[in-house]
Structure 1
Amino acid sequence: MQKLILLALVGLGAQLVDGSLGMAYGVTSTTLLLAVGTNPAAASATVHLAEIGTTLVSGLSHWRFGNVDWKVVLRIGVPGAIGAFAGATFLSSISTATAAPLMAIILLTLGLYVFLRFTFQGLPKGQLGKPLRKRFLTPLGLVGGFVDATGGGGWGPVGTPAILASGRLEPRKTIGSIDTSEFLVAIAASLGFLWGIGSENIDYGWVLALLIGGMIAAPLAAWLVRHIPPRVLGAAVGGVIILTNTRSLLRSDWIDAPDAVRYVLYGVIYLAWAAAIAYSVAQYRKNAIEDQRILAEAEAEAEAEAEAEAEAEAEAVALGSTPDDKDKAPANA
């Protein structure tokens, strides 16, 4: 029972992150399932089965808040589903000894990307309005779906930054569209795993626990996407993913590092993690202060213009005319 409650809390926290950043539900959940010794294919299958429900609720919630571009959902979601099915069948066909470190490498790479992207850049902003073309979204969906199924997560870390970097879709619609299209990816990956490893290798109690936590968090995350500082959250979550998967990789048969080496690396990661969070908080506050300063200057300028117009109108009235009277006077008067 304690494990199920913990999994529900994991699902809740992971969905809060995913719904706010457009990434990291699968990466976070799969990382923690692997940390307790779950078979890689079974871990990814468990997460994707839970995601069928969480992405459905998340997509509906984002749609209600106006965060979804349905053209983008279809153009990236369908090829994403194809890539996810292929990735699921691939992961199901390789041995656990090979799959565990391979998945750790994929998750570690995605964690590093999330960590560095949000610590040093935050959410990139560019010029909006230009359409996202199929020749961009189709290969992005195929790659994202394959990585998502083989790594237990990756749809968001692959798709969200790529679309944000294009500068063609505002951040909240990017996050909402990626979360909504993941529903198709989750269904295809789940079918691939059920076909590859069978249903008997999946703990449906764990699926239900992750599902309940994620469904509770999904509506809140869709609302928080407009309010939470994603830069800080991305740095924090990226650190968790890096630390956990570094641990899995160092303890795997591929490396089997001695305790002294592992503890030194853990210490370095903790220090870098703390520094990144502190830096992200500082940058967030700095940008917030700068935004407030710009807003205050704009308000002061508007107020000065209003006062100047009021003074001009008062002066015109004192002289027996108004600016409107001048405009109405005949041109040849």
Structure 2
Amino acid sequence: MEKLIVFAFVGLLAQTIDGSLGMAYGVTASTLLVATNVAPAVASASVHLAEVGTTLASGLSHWRLGNVDWRTVGKIAGPGAIGAFLGATVLSNLSTESAKPWMAGLLLLIGIYLIARFVFGKPPVVLPGQRPTVKLLAPLGLFGGFVDATGGGGWGPVTTPTLIASGTLDPRKVIGSMSASEFVVTVSASVGFLIGLGNEALDWRVIGGLLVGGVIAAPFAAYLVKHLSLPILGALVGSVIIITNSRTLLQASDAESLPVYVGLFALAAVFIAIAIAKVRAGSADKASAENPKEATTGS
């Protein structure tokens, strides 16, 4: 029962972050599961099996709201499924000691990307009349699916920002289409893990806990979207992922030391400070735009 509660908390926290940022459920859940000594392959398999239900619900919701471009889904879902199956097969056949640094490295890169996007990133520019081509979608799907399975998450952080930055599809359609595609990717990864690990290797308390926590967190995540700034949330989440997975890599290479950890926490503090400054600057610019006369008088 105690383990179920722990894993439910992991699912709750991961879903809260995912619902607020629009990504990072798998990255957060896998990072926390590995930190609680769950084997990397079991962690990724558990996350993907739990996500089968959440991605289906998410994809249907976006479809009903008209957020899905099915031509884009058709071009990226297939390669994504192939990449996910291959990634699950690779991770299932790695030893626990070999898999931990590999997964930690991938998650660390995704954590850095979250910082880059939400703390330092700029709003995307959408080019009217453009559509993403199969030349972009096929390799992106293959790579995103492979990273998603081997890293325990990563479909959203890899595909969504890349397509938004390309300017070939409205951001609303990008998010909806990638959410719909993720269901296919998740099912494919789950099949790969079930074949590679077998049903007996999975702890259904982990999967059940993630599901329960995710369902409970959904309404709270919607509240956070409205009340918490994305740069600050991105800085907090990215920092936690960077510190946690850096610790795993340091342990694997016997390079742990107090100065390194002090440096990591100092770096996290800098990211958070920059995010706070960015939010304050945005609020000041908005206030100036709404009250140009007062801004002129004040200067």
- Superposition TM-score, scaled by structure 2 size: 0.89
Flag the 1:223–1:169 CA change in 2: closer, same or farther, 3 A: farther
Deviation string 1:223-258 (CA, Å, 9 cap, x unpaired) is 865775322221111111101101111112xx1124
Secondary structure of the structure 2 residue equivalent to 1:23? coil
RMSD: 2.3
Q: For residues 73 and 228 of structure 1, what CA distance do their matches in structure 2 show?
A: 30
Note if 1:79 corresponds to 2:79.
yes
**CA distance 1:279–1:128, change in 2 (3 Å):** farther
Q: Is the alpha carbon distance of 1:153 and 1:14 closer, same or farther for their aligned partners in structure 2, counting shifts above 3 Å?
A: same
- Using the alignment, how far apart are the partners of 1:279 and 1:12 within structure 2? 27
Task: Specify which of 233, 252, 255 is matched with residue 257 of structure 1.
Answer: 255
Say whether the 8 Å CA contact 2:3–2:205 is kept in structure 1.
no
Equivalence for 1:180: 180
Structure 1: how far apart are the matches of 2:236 and 2:251?
23
* 2:114 match: 114
* 1:5-44 map, 5 Å: 5-44=5-44
User: Does the alignment pair 1:239 with 2:239?
Assistant: yes
Residue 276 of structure 2 is aligned to residue 281 of structure 1: yes
Change in 2 beyond 3 A, CA 1:33/1:197: same
What's 1:209 paired with? 209
Unpaired segments ≥5 residues, structure 1: 299-333
CA distance in 2, matches of 1:28, 1:105: 14
User: 2:10·2:33 contact (CA, 8 Å) conserved in 1?
Assistant: no
The letter of the residue matching 1:61 is S
Q: Residue 185 and residue 123 in structure 1: after superposition, are their counterparts in 2 closer, same or farther (change >3 A)? A: farther
Q: Cα deviations across residues 175-197 of structure 1 (Å, max 9, x unaligned)?
A: 33322321111100000000011
- In structure 1, what is the equivalent of residue 124 of structure 2? 124
Q: Which residue pairs with 1:293 in the alignment?
A: 288
Quick check: 169-178 or 76-85, which moved more? 169-178
CA-to-aligned-CA distance 1:204-229 (integer Å, 9 cap, x gap) = 11101101222333466468657753
Larger mean CA deviation between 7-16 and 233-242 belongs to 7-16
Closer, same or farther: CA 205–28 of 1 in aligned 2, 3 Å? same
Distance 1:129 1:235, change over 3 A: farther
Q: Which runs of 5+ in 2 are unaligned?
A: 294-299
Residue type matched to 1:267 in 2?
A: V
Q: CA deviation at 1:29?
A: 0.5
Map of 1:302 onto structure 2: none
Sort the Cα spacing of 1:113 and 1:74 in 2 relative to 1 into closer, same or farther, 3 A. Answer: same
Distance 1:219 1:74 in 2: 30
Give the SS at the match of 1:120: coil
CA distance in 2 between counterparts of 1:178 and 1:234 reads: 20
Q: For 2:221 and 2:95, locate their aligned partners in 1 and report how far apart those are by CA, in whole Å.
A: 36
Question: 1:147-195 CA distances to partner (integer Å, 9 max, x unpaired)?
Answer: 1101111111111110121123333332333223211111000000000
1:328 alignment partner in structure 2: none
CA contact (8 A) 1:19 1:176 kept: no
- The separation in 1 between residues aligned to 2:135 and 2:224, in whole angstroms, is 32
Q: Cα gap change, 1:175/1:223 in structure 2, threshold over 3 Å: closer, same or farther?
A: farther
Structure 1 residues 223 and 183, CA gap change in structure 2 (3 angstroms) = farther
Q: How many residues align?
A: 293
Listed one character per residue, the Cα deviations across residues 118-155 of structure 1 (whole Å, up to 9, x for unaligned) are 21115534434411112211110110000110111111
Q: Residue 164 of structure 1 corresponds to which residue in structure 2?
A: 164
Identity of aligned residues (%): 54
2: CA distance, partners of 1:148 / 1:81: 10
Judge conservation of contact 1:62–1:222 (CA < 8 Å) in 2: no
Aligned to 1:45: 45
Partner of 2:297 in structure 1?
none
Q: Which residue of 2 aligns with 1:102?
A: 102
- Bigger shift: residues 166-175 or 51-60: 166-175
What are the Cα deviations for residues 41-67 of structure 1, in whole angstroms up to 9, with x where unaligned?
Answer: 111101110110111222233344544
Q: Relative to structure 2, which stretch is displaced further, 10-19 or 34-43? A: 10-19
> Aligned residue for 1:307?
none
In structure 2, relative to structure 1, the CA distance for the partners of 1:167 and 1:288 (3 Å cut) is farther
Contact 1:86 1:192 in 2 (8 A): yes
Taking the aligned partners of 1:143 and 1:226, their CA distance within structure 2 comes to 32
Bigger mean CA offset, 138-147 vs 280-289: 280-289
Q: C-alpha distance in 1, partners of 2:5/2:84?
A: 29
Cα 1:284–1:67 change in 2 (3 A) is: farther
